[in-house]
Amino acid sequence: KQEVTQIPAALSVPEGENLVLNCSFTDSAIYNLQWFRQDPGKGLTSLLLIQSSQREQTSGRLNASLDKSSGRSTLYIAASQPGDSATYLCAVIGLSKNAGNMLTFGGGTRLMVKP
Amino acid sequence: NAGVTQTPKFQVLKTGQSMTLQCAQDMNHNSMYWYRQDPGMGLRLIYYSASEGTTDKGEVPNGYNVSRLNKREFSLRLESAAPSQTSVYFCASSQSSGNTIYFGEGSWLTVV
Could you read off the pLDDT of A85-96 as tens digits, one per residue? Answer: 999 999 998 776
Q: Please give the share of chain A, as a percent, with pLDDT higher than 70.
A: 95
Beta-bridge mates of residue B44: B36
A89 contact B CB<8A: yes
Q: What is the pLDDT of residue A96?
A: 63
Could you read off the pLDDT of B3-50 as tens digits, one per residue? Answer: 999 999 999 999 999 999 999 999 999 999 999 999 888 899 999 998
Query: DSSP readout, A1-54?
Result: ---EEEE-SEEEEETT--EEEEEEES---EEEEEEEEE-TTS-EEEEEEEETT-
**Encoded amino acid at B92, one letter:** A
Comparing CA positions, the residue from A86, A107, A87, A89 lying closest to residue A33 is: A89
Could you read off the pLDDT of B60-92 as tens digits, one per residue? Answer: 999 999 999 899 999 999 999 999 999 999 999
| Alpha carbons B11 and A61: distance in angstroms, whole number | 38
CA distance, residue B16 to nearest chain A CA (Å): 27
Are B100 and A43 within 8 A, CB to CB? Answer: no
**Would the CA dihedral through A26, A60, A19, A85 be positive or negative?**
negative
Query: DSSP readout, B62-104?
Result: TTEEEEE-SSSBEEEEESS--GGG-EEEEEEEESSTTS-EEE-
Q: Please give the share of chain A, as a percent, with pLDDT higher than 90.
A: 79
Which residue out of B9, B32, B43, B107 would a mutagenesis test of the A interface target, given it has the greatest number of A Cβ atoms within 10 Å? B43
Could you read off the pLDDT of A36-61 as tens digits, one per residue? Answer: 999 998 899 999 999 989 999 999 99
